[in-house]
Amino acid sequence: MSENVTEREVMEYDVIIVGAGPAGLACAIRLKQLKEDLMVAVIEKSAEVGAHILSGAVIEPGPLDELLPGWQDSPPPVCIPVKHDELAFLTATKRRKLPTPPQQKNHGNFIVSLGALCGWLAPKAEDLGVDIFPGYAAAGIHFLADGAVGGVIIGDMGVDREGQPKDTYMQGIEIHAPTTVLAEGCRGHLSKQLINKFKLDENSDPQAYGIGIKELWQVGPGKCQPGLVHHSIGWPLDTHTYGGSFIYHMDKDRVAVGFVCALDYSDPEFSPFEAFQQFKHHPSVKPLFEGGEILSGGARTIIEGGAQSLPKVEMPGALLIGDAAGLLNLPKIKGTHQAIRSGMLAASHLADKGTGEGFDGTLRASPIMKELHKVRNIRPGFNKGLWRGLITAGIETVTAGKLPRTLHNHADHSALKKLQDMKTVDRKWVKRELAPRDRLASVYFAATDHDEDQLVHLQILEPDVCISRCGEEYGHPCTRFCPAQVYEMVEDTDTSAGQRLQINAANCVHCKTCDIKDPYQIINWVTPEGGSGPNYQNL
């Protein structure tokens, strides 16, 4: 944030919501439904609502039924009822069906495009009088004299790579509100800042994350079976890396396919993007995609820590909702219904009490928390590997989480082993033929766009570490875990080490993996100029 002597223009609202995802929009809609005179605004860094969000996704309709009764009469553009569920275990060559665990039974649920869902929710919020501002990034917090959150500061636009104003320079305004609702999604940068500042996580386990990479394919005629939901575990991951795949068959010959890897993997040479591409080449999967074409693709981190890692979700002047707080139910692989519920809960709390104070208690006493509590031991159960994890998951499911024990999460970035401590793993990965050829070919489908002449939004807090330590200790894992190939070690004879870190910030898809997984925790993701970033379509 540039230090500006000129005072910024101010707009005032009763509630300012950061992020037009399902949580933020549900909160806005509910606020207006309860108190139509409230002045509510939602700011969103993407150029259009839905452009930065992606998910599988299979959603539970319950919270949507509550928010917008009768929504099924004019559903969002992509909305296919689930017809059939399967969970399978993959080896390099075989696929073995497993019994579908109750958390993954999807009868009554819908396959949607989360981006299209948000694009469908936004006009409903606007019809109720919510002001939605896509293309504006909340770059900083406006603090009051007593240290409470008083609103947000919109990022300056038209600033060049050196931080100097260009001809088009426009200073960001401030939006002041008695309550700021942070709905930035997983690892939101303002949420991260505030969690640190107010020590909201001092009584929680470290947060756990995964990276989800997704592609939307147009497959050949006759291959798509609308409503078919497939999940898998096993290959191409090893037994110490938690994750799995999804394939959701939609309409119009479109199939959504994706892969999630927990970010507490230990192999510094592991590439989540490559694991995803390998999955598509499994003999049971490849025929589906042969002859097809990719329509769009992208990546986003997923918040996996659940109940144990949930920070305090209130602070003076602000609330955390949705995945900015961390409400995703991992065994169900669903977070949207929780996000919508939390947005509605925050809205009713605010409408009722006129302040966010007490929201943490309200959330923890709610069905949202109950749902998280029930499955709290499943994710950490996998810290001991796939087989122990499956056993723990089985026990926890059968006992509905009632056993008087709570397993704990560990920090993802500290789980990375050093190169010298790592034994090479034979992953049985194959030579690939399906698109995309590599990460650069893949990032094309994210249609990500950044003005090259702006400050690099990926801050390296101690740049020497990259050259002096990381190469030897971890082999520059950032060049592998970033799904968009933002980070590259390039030859540079001008430096003493003969190489330097090059940050291709324009490729960034805003997934936040680097901010999470970097073993030294020196990468700080901040928001680039509003409107920049991916332009996801139907993801």
Partner 1 sequence: MKILVGIKRVVDYNVRIRVRPDGSGVDTDGVKMSINPFDEIALEQALRIREAGNAEEVIVVSLGGTECQQQLRTGLAMGADRAIQVDTEENLQPLTIARALLKVVEKEQVGLVILGKQAIDGDNSQTGQMLAALWDRPQATFASGLELSGDSATVTREVDAGLEKIEVDLPAVITVDLRLNEPRFVKLPDIMKAKRKPLEVIPLTDLGVASENDLLASQYAPPPVREKGIMVEDTAQLVAELKTRGLV
Phi/psi at 331 (5° precision) = -60, -30
Residue 55 falls in the annotated catalytic set: yes
Report which of 74, 104, 38, 396 is spatially closest to residue 248, judged by C-alpha positions.
104
Q: In the complex, what is the shortest distance from the CB of residue 524 to partner 1, in angstroms, rounded to a whole number? A: 25
Tell me how many residues contact partner 1 (CB under 8 A): 31
Establish if 47 lies at the interface with partner 1 (CB under 8 A). yes
User: Which residue in the set 44, 48, 60, 238 belongs to the binding site for partner 1 (CB under 8 A)?
Assistant: 48
Alpha-carbon distance of 519 to 470, in angstroms, equals: 9
Please return the burial class of 5, using the count of CB atoms within 10 Å of its CB with bins 0-12, 13-18 and 19+: exposed
Q: In the complex, what is the shortest distance from the CB of residue 257 to partner 1, in angstroms, rounded to a whole number? A: 18
- Closest CB to partner 1 among 269 and 293? 293
User: Which residue in the set 55, 377, 513, 537 belongs to the binding site for partner 1 (CB under 8 A)?
Assistant: 537
- Closest CB to partner 1 among 257 and 446? 446
Contacts of 146 (CB under 8 A, 6+ apart): 316
Contacts of 140 (CB under 8 A, 6+ apart): 1, 152, 153, 155, 190
Residue 113 falls in the annotated catalytic set: no
User: Which residue in the set 75, 81, 129, 158 belongs to the binding site for partner 1 (CB under 8 A)?
Assistant: 158
- Which candidate in 46, 309, 336, 527 is catalytic? 336
Orientation of helix 336-353 relative to helix 367-374, angle to 10°? 150
Establish if 475 lies at the interface with partner 1 (CB under 8 A). no
Task: Pick out residues in 202-231 that bind partner 1 (CB under 8 A).
Answer: 218
Binding mask 52-91 for partner 1 (x = CB under 8 A): -------------------------xx-------------
User: Which residue in the set 168, 420, 424, 496 belongs to the binding site for partner 1 (CB under 8 A)?
Assistant: 168
Q: In the complex, what is the shortest distance from the CB of residue 50 to partner 1, in angstroms, rounded to a whole number? A: 9
User: Which residue in the set 9, 66, 421, 472 belongs to the binding site for partner 1 (CB under 8 A)?
Assistant: 9
Q: Report the 10 Å Cβ neighbour count for 433.
A: 11
- Closest CB to partner 1 among 50 and 185? 50
Placement of tokens 């490849």 in the chain: 286
Establish if 6 lies at the interface with partner 1 (CB under 8 A). no
User: Which residue in the set 16, 26, 51, 478 belongs to the binding site for partner 1 (CB under 8 A)?
Assistant: 51
- Closest CB to partner 1 among 158 and 475? 158
- Closest CB to partner 1 among 295 and 419? 295
Q: Give yes or no for a contact between 247 and 285, defined as CB atoms under 8 angstroms apart.
A: yes
Residue 460 CA to chain centroid, in angstroms?
Answer: 21
Residue 493 falls in the annotated catalytic set: no
User: Which residue in the set 80, 154, 182, 320 belongs to the binding site for partner 1 (CB under 8 A)?
Assistant: 154
Which CA distances in Å does 140 have to 29, 48, 130, 256, 526?
Answer: 25, 21, 22, 35, 9
Establish if 351 lies at the interface with partner 1 (CB under 8 A). no
Q: In the complex, what is the shortest distance from the CB of residue 235 to partner 1, in angstroms, rounded to a whole number? A: 29
Establish if 509 lies at the interface with partner 1 (CB under 8 A). no
Alpha-carbon distance of 254 to 527, in angstroms, equals: 32
Residue 439 falls in the annotated catalytic set: no
Please tell me whether residue 342 adopts helix, strand or coil conformation: helix
Placement of tokens 């501002």 in the chain: 133
Strands (E), 393-514: 458-460, 487-491, 499-503
Report which of 337, 347, 324 is spatially closest to residue 128, judged by C-alpha positions.
347
- Which candidate in 27, 46, 55, 254 is catalytic? 55
Q: Report the 10 Å Cβ neighbour count for 432.
A: 15
Question: HSE on the CB side for 23, CA within 13 Å?
Answer: 28
Task: Pick out residues in 396-455 that bind partner 1 (CB under 8 A).
Answer: 444-445, 447, 449
Task: Pick out residues in 253-312 that bind partner 1 (CB under 8 A).
Answer: 295-296
Phi/psi at 452 (5° precision) = -65, -30
Catalytic machinery residues:
55, 300, 336, 482, 508, 511, 514
Which residues are at the interface with partner 1 (CB under 8 A)? 9, 11, 47-48, 51, 77-78, 116, 119, 131, 133, 135-136, 154, 157-158, 167-168, 170, 173, 175, 218, 295-296, 444-445, 447, 449, 535, 537-538
